Structure formats: structure tokens, C-alpha cells
Amino acid sequence: MPQYMDIAVNLIGSSLEKDIQRVVDDAKAHSVTSMVVIGSHIEESLQAVKLCQQFPEQLYSTAGIHPHHASEWQADSLNILRKLSQAPSVIAIGECGLDYNRDFSPRDMQRKAFAEQLALAVELQMPVLMHERDAHEDFIAILKEFRSELPAALLHCFTGNKLSLDAYIEQDIYLGVTGWVCDERRGQELASIVTDIPNNRILVETDSPYLLPRSMRPKPKSSKNEPKYLPYIAQYIATLRKQNLEDFAAQTYSNSRTFFGLEN
């Protein structure tokens, strides 16, 4: 039976936080045997580390500052993240990057925080988990400055077009695909190019509790996305790619473990 690793879940500071035990148990019951809890700012990264201590067999975490929180970047932020990254559960720097869609933080602060976190990932030789929305040109320009020295780089929740996909593949980065691909309104372009992602660079994720797959039938009573729905997303993508589910699941699971430097 296939097993899955959900490479991006938002358990801290989300609607799932009060129900974590059930969420983890339900995920395991649906063969989602491991998950990566995202740290999007320093306090959340710290809480993610503490949460992982309660579920050492199932949860890992990241340490980083999301572009939405880039305005919170302080002189000591780098040192705090450096220390946090020493925790056994922390397997990547991030979530970091650029978001020009919502612009919750000034763009110059976003670029600064992104570059400094990439530099930290280089220094520590850790993988980096990244976010990009409506900021492709600046994102790729900054990434290129560090890419040759990064051990591994992942753009999670990829929702770009063919041009951006080609640019990311050229940089040899991993791409995470969510239930966005199941959305008949917004996900059509992604569905048409998901076949172009190399077998050894595609990962699957829920980005829970966001992006509940719209194509699920029967539709879940709750609008919250959960890690337990990851097999559905994997099946949807496998069908688009004309791949057998078991083979696709095995490939993406192996890719996830390889990216994060974990044993397969």
C-alpha cells in the first residue's frame, strides 16, 4: 500500500491547531505517515518545533519567515533561525520567498528576508522551502544568486505557468503540487503543465487547511483541507500524468525523503 509525505501543512496558527491529534491520526489512517509543519514566522517556527516533539515519528518542521511576515525581520532574526534550525525536527529553512499578490510586507523587506534566509540555508547546508506568488522575475533573480550553493530547493504550492515552470526546472528545483490542480476554475493551466514536471522533481502536498480540492465527491462537510486528503490529490495528479498511482506515490514519497535528507 502506498505511503505519503505531506510536505507542507499549516498546523500552527490555523483552524486545525485545536484538533491536531485527530488530524495526525486521520492522516496516518489514510497512509500519510509523515508531514512537515510550516514555520511562517519566528514564534510559529518555535511552536512547530515544540509540536513535533509530541509526534516525533510523524511530524517534522521548518524554520523561517514567510514573505507576509517579512516586515517583522529584525537584526537578530537570522541568529534566532540559526538556533532553531538545530532542533532535530527542523529539516528545512523556510517558508521564505516573495509574495507580490497580497503585499502584506513591503517588497524591499520581502527581498531582504528572502535573500538572508537563502544565505542561511547555504551556510547550514540545509534544504530551503520557498513561496512565490506574482513575483517570478525577482524571485528567480534572487534564487539564482544562491542556487549553486544550495543543497536542495523546493517551491511549494506551485501555481505558475509554462514559462515559470521551465525557469524553475532549469534551476533544478523541486516543485510541490497541491489541490489547486483539482480546481476547474483556477487550476486548469497547472493541470495542463503538471505533466512537464520531471518525475524526480515533483512532490505532493495539501497546504492544509487551505486549498481543499474542489473536485472531491462527495464533497467534505468541512471546507478545511487536511493531510488525509493527500492520496486523493496524488491520484488526481497521477491520472493527469497517465501514471499508475502506486508508482507515482512511491516516486513522490521517495522525492520528498530525498529532498529533506531523510532515509527512504
Measured torsion, CA atoms of residues 104, 109, 112, 115, in degrees rounded to the nearest 10: 0
* Residue 262, number of CB atoms within 10 A of its CB: 12
Task: Print burial letters for 28-45: b (CB count within 10 Å at least 16), e (below 16).
Answer: bebbbebbbbbbbbbebb
CA count, 13 A, side-chain hemisphere, 190: 20
Task: Print burial letters for 220-245: b (CB count within 10 Å at least 16), e (below 16).
Answer: eeeebbbbbbbbbbbebbbebeebee
3-state secondary structure of 258: helix
Tell me the one-letter amino acid at 167: A
131 known member of a binding site: yes
CA angle 10, 44, 183 (to 5 degrees): 20
95 known member of a binding site: yes
Cell numbers given for 173: 528545483
Cell numbers given for 70: 517579512
Residues contributing to the annotated binding site: 95, 131, 156, 207
Residues contributing to the annotated binding site for a divalent metal cation: 95, 131, 156, 207
